Structure 1
């Protein structure tokens, strides 16, 4: 699904409903990076845990390792 205004991906990353169900991927990443603790891995509204994946090419395995280290 795309936002008609900015043409960016809209995702439903948690169990929220209504107007909070869909969010831009970049907005969610910004929210997660600026909030303290719990919000990085969980929705602050419905408390659902986000599925965190690093889409990294196989030949750049060290980036995946770096991502996993930062998340931990």
Structure 2
């Protein structure tokens, strides 16, 4: 699997984790202004997961098909 494919899969996983965290807030909210906290939570969680997945210690814990080369993550 190429690094580009791995990065695409990782980005999708990160997005889905962020969306899952924000989903209860988004469902509960009924209007656009009320969804802002849900969107903020989703973006914050997605950003946190992205940073975590870039850490070398987490890279070693990920399955081989989700790991990226050390040189290309820096």
Tell whether the structures are fold-level matches, with TM greater than 0.5: no
State the structure with more CA Rg. Answer: 2
Structure scoring higher RCO (CA < 8 A, sep ≥ 6) equals: 2
Structure with greater proportional helix content:
2
